[in-house]
Amino acid sequence: MIARAGLIVGPHDNVGQLPWWLTRIAQGGQVLAPGNPARGLQLIDVRDLSAFVLDQAETHAGGIHNVVPDAPNTTMGRLLDHCVQVTGSNATPVWMDEDFLFSHGVAPWGELPLWLPDGPDTAGFWAVSGASATAAGLRTRPFGESVQDVWQWLRAGGEVRPAPGVLPFGLSHEKEQQVLAAWNSRPAAYHPEAVKAYACEA
């Protein structure tokens, strides 16, 4: 059996994308939020991935599976909302136009985890078919449960420990404040369609 996992989240994370968002949002205040809040994400909890692999091994099943939810199971907007809720923070996401972020040197993915701008190189990244894994018995928990459990792990002393030579995720406080100041000095800069889509989707 070949299990092709998508992007993995959950307690004992040694990569640090969701933990960075939780830690940043727990600090409160205005939080730089990238692009369209309605952009869908496909994230798999490590416990659901592990259970699927073990179940398949126990039944001697074969095949090749994309072990991801068969459709986006959250959005950037909902992810940040969950982080606000579980941390009890007063943080306010400030959704910024992607071109504005690029013009201020903000790097997708590395500085703002899970942000992938629209483009030919990223088309379909969050639209992988997980149909075969679902048919074979993959069960995925609500994404909010993963966020809650990662926060509990962090509060209990959990620490992200990336592999040697791997740079940590996240935007520095100084750079975030500079970009927020530049954004706040502009006239109303929200994308109406993005906000409308998020409001309808939520």
pLDDT digits (tens, 9 = 90+) for 45-77: 999 999 999 999 999 998 999 999 999 999 999
134-185 pLDDT, tens digit per residue, is: 999 999 999 999 999 999 999 999 999 988 888 889 999 999 999 999 999 9
Confidence of residue 40 (pLDDT cuts 50, 70, 90): very high
According to the model, what pLDDT value does residue 201 have? 52
Q: Where do the H-state alpha helices sit in the chain? A: 17-26, 46-58, 76-87, 98-103, 131-135, 143-155, 173-184, 192-201
pTM: 0.90
DSSP designation for 31: E
Closest CA to 42 of 148, 128, 134, 138: 128
pLDDT at residue number 4: 96
Number of domains composing the chain: 1
Classified as helix, coil or strand, 39 is coil
**What pLDDT is stored for residue 139 in this prediction?**
97
C-alpha–C-alpha distance, residues 106 and 32, integer Å: 10
Its domain, for residue 29, covers 2-201
CA 3 to CA 182: how far, in whole Å?
44
Higher pLDDT, 123 or 172: 172
SS (H, E, C) 160-195: CCCCCCCCCCCCCHHHHHHHHHHHHCCCCCCCHHHH
Tell me the pLDDT of the chain averaged across its residues.
Answer: 92
| Residue 33: predicted pLDDT | 98
pLDDT band at 188 (very low <50, low <70, confident <90, very high): low
pLDDT score at 104:
97
Q: How confident is the model at residue 193 (pLDDT cuts 50, 70, 90)?
A: very low
φ, ψ for residue 179, nearest 5 deg = -70, -40
Answer whether residue 200 shows pLDDT above 70: no
Model pLDDT, residue 197 = 47
From CA 53, how far away is CA 2, in angstroms rounded?
9
Instruction: Give 195's Cβ-side CA count (13 Å radius).
Output: 10
pLDDT tens-place string over residues 102-117? 999 999 999 999 999 9
How confident is the model at residue 119, as a pLDDT? 82
Tokens (6 digits) for 92: 């306010």
**pLDDT of 196 higher than 50:** no
